[in-house]
Amino acid sequence: MLMDSQKCLIVMDDRGVISLGGDDVRDFLQNLITQDIATLEPGHGAWAALLSPQGKYLFDFFVVAMNDGSLMLDCEASRVSDLIARLETYKLRADVEITDASTPWTVAALLGTEADSRALVGFEGRGGPFGGGVCYVDPRFGAIGARALLPRPALAALLGAGFEEQDRDAYDHARICLGLPDGARDLAIDKALPLENGLDVLNAINWEKGCYVGQELTARMRYRATVKRRLLPVAIEGDAPKPGTLIMLGDKEAGEMRSSFEDIGLALLRLDALATLHEKGGVLTAGDTTLSPLRPPWMTASSEEPPIG
């Protein structure tokens, strides 16, 4: 959960950094990813995904615009080389330099008090320079706080600014409570569909921009309203199920478990199962564990959303 009385800094050791420079860098990335970064201002950040031509999830990352005109990608450290290789296949003759910058740079999450975090909602992606890098409001949902992309020595400046270093558990609990996915931990590679996993409502997709890889099928799913599942937080009663564990409603499959922390987790749940649960009652189970779907704070109460509670 978000801290009540302190500001927390979590060094994200599982994140890597890729630097993209060159005269064509904006156009190059703009033509590939789901987000519109053509006018991304220096010091600001955006969340985006790179999809397969079939519209399936391959990578997600935060794109940060630097003052020197370069773009930096905050991505999963274990998949940096795979992402660079994928980007290189699209580069052709474009003037773009793609470099693994994970050694000199680091990523940190900044969790404020609950009042601080509420105040950031509506300012997603906005930021500015700090310590030779950038600090910006998390572009997915401001209630999770901010992110920092910094030269490693600059972390000391954040600690000097009143942040107290915490371990990764504090961040995982906060993001799961807010229903925010964490890369391949929650999004099955070459299988997950962006709209079923919240990338549309969490600001990773711009519906007004031009073409990108996988756009046609992603747009078709939106316009035909064919979303069948939704990634949602769930309260856990019992032992936390392993990722991939089937979730049942009676004798019918209702979804799959994703990442969890203690008594809270994320699950990819079928909308028809949620409707049955809402209308007729019942219990979601994963083995001997009972799960209760929760409405994340970014979800509206419109009829287009799954019935929860």
Query: How far is the C-alpha of 19 from the C-alpha of 34, rounded, in Å?
Result: 19
Bridge partners (DSSP) of residue 259 are: none
Q: Where are the domains of the chain?
A: 7-176, 184-293
Place of tokens 């949602």: 232
CATH number of 7-176: 3.30.1360.120
Rounded alpha-carbon distances, angstroms, from residue 277 to 156, 293, 302: 49, 10, 18
The correct answer on CATH 2.40.30.160 for the domain covering 184-293 is yes
Each residue of 3-27: b (16+ CB within 10 Å) or e? beeebbbbbbeebbbbbbbbebbbe
Token pair, residue 164, equals 């107290």
Q: What is the torsional sign of CA 208, 194, 231, 77?
A: negative
User: How many CA atoms, within 13 angstroms, populate the side-chain half-sphere of residue 246?
Assistant: 7
Residue 136, Ramachandran bin (φ over 0: left; ψ between -120 and 50: alpha; else beta): beta
pLDDT at site 90: 96
Does 184-293 match 7-176 at the fold level? Answer: no
Q: Is residue 43 within 8 Å of 182, Cβ to Cβ?
A: no
Residue 203 CB: number of other CB atoms within 10 A?
Answer: 19
Q: Which two tokens stand for residue 252?
A: 């019918």
The whole-number pLDDT of residue 170 equals 87
Q: What share of the chain is helix, strand, coil (3-state, %, to 5)?
A: 25, 35, 45
How crowded is residue 156: how many other Cβ atoms within 10 Å of its Cβ? 11
pLDDT at 225: 81
Q: Which residue type sits at 96? A: V
CB 140 within 8 A of CB 121: no
pLDDT value of position 6: 62
What pLDDT is attached to residue 3? Answer: 41
pTM score of the predicted model? 0.93
Average pLDDT by stretches of 10, the chain with 309 residues: 63 97 97 96 98 97 96 98 98 95 96 78 95 96 95 88 87 94 97 96 94 94 89 97 97 97 96 94 95 90 62
pLDDT (0 to 100) of residue 1? 37
Predicted pLDDT at 101? 98
Between the alpha carbon of residue 52 and those of residues 60, 91, 113, 193, 273, the distances in Å are 12, 16, 38, 10, 28
